[in-house]
Structure 1
Amino acid sequence: MKLLTLVTSTLTALAAAAPASASAPDAVADAANAFRVMALRTGSNIHFLPMQARGSKFWLGGLPATYCPTMVENCPPGNETVILGSSALYVEVPGGQILYVTQEGELGFTRAHSTYIPPGAAIGGFEHVPGEPYGQWSFKGFGADGFMACPDNAENPSSWQVFAAMDNATVPTGNVNDCLGFTAAAVPYNGSFAAWQYI
């Protein structure tokens, strides 16, 4: 009985401490504002690549990293990254997962059941403007004007990490000029939760 009380009080505390912006009831109510991000940069290797969440960061191309506990019946598909509103992931996990931009410019997201955000990171500054056939998503914090994709290798990139378009961003190659600014097209998403949680 004491163990059950401890587990219940711990879960209650976690739910209370977690950001409410992406909690399950709110997510259902705001599902009309869910969208996927597709990079638009004509004539480049990143044109039309989807933005995916993995390793607490965001990348262009590839698949997202997701997790769903075995005790959950009917896990969401977890095969694409979907944003809810302008600054949360469209997840079913209690408490949700919110987006932030670090002082170094990295676009990241909180872990499930955690409200930890790196010191000095911005959780505001995101904007979603719906449109047809797609809208636009942007970030205006830290003097940025949208997003950029930064390669892991300037000569032969194998991955592109998403950063806020900041002149002083700390990027993988050490040179912001290696990055490509892109338009973050907001492609409407009409399904239910996209994932239980992103990892």
Structure 2
Amino acid sequence: MYTKTLIASILASLAAAAPAPVARDNSVFAMIVIHSGSPIQGAAISENGLKFWISKPTETYCPESVEGKETALSVNNDSGLAGMHTTVPGGQLAYVTEDGQFSVTQAHSAAIPAGASQTGFKYNPQPEAGMVGELLFNGQGLSACPTGEPTDNSIAIYQIYANGASGFTQTNCTGITIGTAEVDAPPV
């Protein structure tokens, strides 16, 4: 019930503020890496600096009254649009840059770089409790590419790229499945 009410309010704010609103499905989900046998297996994926990462904390714009700090998305499978689970007017729409960087728009803005794509996202929900769903872009999985940035974690920092982007040319990346799990988290 809370989720449906929240989604209805998000839709209302998107319709008022965003030039290309995302009609959301009922599922809000968090993301983890699926790549058996790799050091990143099971690592959480978070948004930081308008990009998606492994081993970086969630760092989003949040009004002071908002307590949420978990990276969560929802996808409209009919339109292929995705967006952050947010409270800000206009939301934060997901997109993939021409070179494949999995990204989100700045809060209160629907602007995306030239050559980027907002459509092509597909969410396959969890088939049953205890299992994970999947997030795809243009029918393909994604890649985790090491950045070489220093980290205090046992897992290196990786940036998430979409294999289905026309200009994706990164090398030394690990092909991953983005596993999804529905969450009842407060929006950020």
TM-score by length of 2: 0.76
Of 58, 82, 85, the match for 2:52: 58
How has the CA–CA distance of structure 1 residues 54 and 17 changed in structure 2, closer, same or farther, with 3 Å as cutoff? same
Counterpart in the other structure of 2:67: 76
Counterpart in the other structure of 2:141: 146
Percent identity between the two aligned chains: 31
Residue 129 of structure 1: how far off its partner (Å): 0.7
2:102 and 2:48 mapped to 1: Cα distance? 11
More helix by share: 1
Of 124, 135, 140, the match for 2:133: 135
2:17 and 2:30 mapped to 1: Cα distance? 28
**Amino acid in structure 1 at the alignment position of 2:91:** G
**Amino acid in structure 2 at the alignment position of 1:101:** V
Counterpart in the other structure of 2:168: 169
1:123 and 1:48 mapped to 2: Cα distance? 26
Contact kept? 1:129, 1:137, Cα under 8 Å: yes
Query: How many residues are treated as equivalent by the alignment?
Result: 162
Contact kept? 2:121, 2:135, Cα under 8 Å: yes
Aligned pair 1:49/2:47, yes or no?
no
2:106 and 2:144 mapped to 1: Cα distance? 22
Where do 5+ consecutive residues of structure 1 fail to align? 1-11
How has the CA–CA distance of structure 1 residues 152 and 95 changed in structure 2, closer, same or farther, with 3 Å as cutoff? same
Of 86, 89, 102, the match for 2:97: 102
Contact kept? 1:18, 1:113, Cα under 8 Å: no
Q: Any idea what the Cα deviations from partners look like across 1:111-143, whole Å, max 9, x if unmatched? A: 011111010101111100112222111111xxx
1:40 and 1:158 mapped to 2: Cα distance? 16
Where do 5+ consecutive residues of structure 2 fail to align? 1-12, 77-81
Query: Once superposed, what is the RMSD of the aligned Cα atoms?
Result: 2.6
TM-score by length of 1: 0.72
